[in-house]
Amino acid sequence: MINLYPTQIETISLHRVGNKNKSEGIFLSEEPFSLNDETTGLLKEYFFKPFREKEENYFKLTNDVDVEFNELYKIVSAIFDEPESMHANSKKIATHLFDQSNHPHIKSGEVYVAHLSNVMLDNVKTEAIGIFKSELKHDFLQFEERGNNLDIIIQQGININKLDKGCLIFNVNKEEGYKVLSVDSNRYDTKYWLEDFLGVDPLADENFYTKNYLKFCQNFAKDVVLPAEDKQQEVLFMNRAVNHFAKNDAFEETNFLNEVLENPELVPEFKHYKEEKGPKYSIEDVSNFDIANKAVSDARKKIKNVINLDTNIQIKMDFINPESADKFVEKGWDEERQMYYYLVYFNKEEKN
């Protein structure tokens, strides 16, 4: 888990990169940018807000031969080894980005390279290199008094509430390619940012396995539990799965199956489904791993716990207390109406 609230910007360099395909150039600042309290506060919010809001999917710098051949890995390592080389190496980062900017869809923009301190990563203080890019320009209005009139002046600038692209490279796990977080608001050129510029692969850590295993369970519920039983049991299965992850620090597949799959006939179905679909989620050979609480919380928000009926009625199940949905909701068939029904037991109606 990452905490950026105590993070400080030690130094920052600003450059501009164009699109090589459109014969646009590159502008490299001669000196680092001089920060003051006002710009520091605005830039920290501009840079860090997307990472606080986004699901934490970590990457690592990589290369087909060896990570040391990754261009960004070499540059970032030099900065971590010699922080005073920050500005000179920021020019190399901007140039490397410019060299990858040759697709017609890639937009020109400003590049900010920052050396960050006091970054809390998994409750450990570390440093990081932040690389951010602003691309989309927006019209905004300025007003100026001219004599007895107030005039409108139309100008262009960036929206500091929406970062276009950014990454944080943490000074941990150097031998494996560091630990990297990335955000990209403009999905039309993801390959250019993640693959061509950063050169990253997903980092197979506890967050990766927790998130992917729960995604796998969600599809198992949809593809196997729902056809074999019904919508209620699909929702209850995911309730039990998420709560199993929430209350345990480590995952062990046998314990998980014993607790979550109430129908023993579905156990071989689960194992067969894992053999077939597991490679898609990179969990085919995974049965033990530490659980990432943040990934569980993120998954809980995304998993639907609502039964939608064709009579325009919704039944919402409780993820926190799945036993209530199992104990107080019954499904049946009405012969006279020739319709299914849900019978719900309760003592009193709750007042909002």
CA angle 14–20–22, rounded 5-degree value: 115
Place of tokens 């951010």: 132
> What is the rounded distance in angstroms from the CA atom of residue 205 to the CA atom of residue 33?
36
pLDDT of residue 297: 86
Q: What is the pLDDT of residue 325?
A: 62
pLDDT value of position 321: 61
Q: What is the pLDDT of residue 343?
A: 85
Contact in structure between 86 and 79 (CB atoms under 8 Å): yes
pLDDT at 324: 62
Average pLDDT across each block of 10 residues of the chain; the chain has 352 residues. List them in order. 92 95 92 94 94 86 93 97 96 96 88 97 94 90 90 87 93 95 80 92 91 94 89 85 92 94 90 94 92 86 79 75 68 86 82 68
pLDDT attached to residue 352: 64
Q: Do residues 210 and 291 lie in contact, with contact meaning Cβ atoms separated by under 8 Å?
A: yes
State the pLDDT at residue 340. Answer: 86
**Separation between Cα atoms, residue 317 and residue 307, nearest integer Å:** 8
Task: Return the closest-CA partner of residue 231 out of 301, 310, 299, 324.
Answer: 310
Show the beta-strand stretches assigned E in the chain.
2-3, 8-17, 26-28, 58-61, 109-121, 124-134, 138-146, 149-157, 165-170, 179-184, 200-202, 250-252, 288-290, 306-308, 314-316, 329-334, 339-344
Instruction: Give me the residues paired with residue 108 across strands.
Output: none
Q: What is the pLDDT of residue 245?
A: 94
